[in-house]
Amino acid sequence: MTLPKVYVTRRIQDSGMKLLDGRVEYEVWEEDRPVERSELLRKAAAADGLLATLSDRIDDELLSLCPGLKVVSNYAVGYDNIDVRAATDRGVVVTNTPDVLTAATADIAFTLMLASARRLVEGNEFLRSGEWVTWQPNLLLGADVSGAVLGIYGMGKIGQAVARRARGFDMEIQYVNRSPREEAERELGARRVAFEELLARSDFISIHCPLSDETRGLFNESTLRSMKKTACLINTSRGPVVDQRALYRACSEGWIAGAGLDVFDIEPVPLDEPLLTLKNVTTIPHLGSATVRTRESMARLAVENLLAALEGRRPSAVVNPEVLDGR
């Protein structure tokens, strides 16, 4: 029996890779950088399945070259790197890895909040540079997290996980979401508010929405100017949700107190990115899901989704279920 052909665009954890053995014929891009576009197009054209990462652009051009492609399994919860409509039109199943990275991403969001509020990166650099010569009453004073008002934009699973962590710090929780989250309101005391109120009252705003036409550039000059001057913006969702040029002005000109960022417009971030020059902006290289256990779980789920689609079973996390429902 001929095995399905799979192209894996980046070697993932062995917990996932070993599941492929004997069930598909697969090839892996082994270099520690995104696969070159020409190589991706060439390999995808002969594949029955793709195991992709968020750095791979799976668009109409690529899909049009893949007559035998049945599934694109994304090693991520977000899927803005994939043209889902084009995939659906061609009957290609798209899957992702939700749930398994919820806790890790919530942890990193709260880490950025604490690090930004208490100026941890500044403190580390201050100490290592030899500038710390004596204790001072006003040295690197930060903001209180305990008892502060937290605004969550996007109250999905990750947003709710952040809210649960915030309750441990006695924070007042308000949120913006398309629909009410009654369980979070009952259990966590969270309150659904209008976007304008979220901006005006929050001491910290943590973004947990997908990237879409509606959310692209949502945090722009107008919305950033509507925040408290003492507020801090945290983004662990997708970089383009925030207008980086406006955020630079906001943090450098004092519209807001600062920001903590795990995601950016362009990744990796160019070293001449102006935000990198600001002490009140804490930056990390897209580490939201970067724990050993989480990445192993993502690898297993991504491969299980891929194999299910190739073997005629329903994957556990389907982005476009209408493809399967219509078969």
- Residue 326 pLDDT > 90, yes or no? no
CATH classification at residue 260: 3.40.50.720
Tens-place pLDDT, residues 201-256: 999 999 999 999 999 999 999 999 999 999 999 999 999 999 999 999 999 999 99
Residues 257 and 112 in one domain: yes
Query: Is-contact 143 257, C-beta < 8 A?
Result: yes
Residues 255 and 193 in one domain: yes
- Residue 1 pLDDT > 90, yes or no? no
Catalytic residue (choose from 185, 267, 273, 296): 267
Q: Give the span between the Cα atoms of 287 and 289, in whole angstroms.
A: 6
Residues 84 and 177 in one domain: no
Tens-place pLDDT, residues 284-293: 999 999 999 9
Residues 93 and 217 in one domain: no
Residues 80 and 113 in one domain: no
Is 214 a residue of the active site? no
In a 10 Å sphere around its CB, with 0-12 CB exposed, 13-18 middle and 19+ buried, how is residue 193 labelled? middle
Is 208 a residue of the active site? no
User: What are the start-end ranges of the H helices in the chain?
Assistant: 14-17, 37-44, 60-64, 84-89, 102-117, 120-128, 157-167, 182-188, 195-201, 221-225, 244-253, 292-310, 322-325
Residues 183 and 90 in one domain: no
How many domains does the chain divide into? Answer: 2
Residues 24 and 173 in one domain: no
Residues 123 and 159 in one domain: yes
Residues 169 and 26 in one domain: no
Catalytic residue (choose from 165, 181, 208, 238): 238
- Residue numbers of the domain that contains 186: 102-283
The angle at the Cα of 63, spanning 59 to 65, to the nearest 5 degrees, equals 130
Percent of the chain residues topping a pLDDT of 70:
100
Residues 251 and 126 in one domain: yes
Catalytic residue (choose from 119, 181, 286, 300): 286
Residues 80 and 129 in one domain: no
- pLDDT, position 36: 96
Residues 44 and 117 in one domain: no
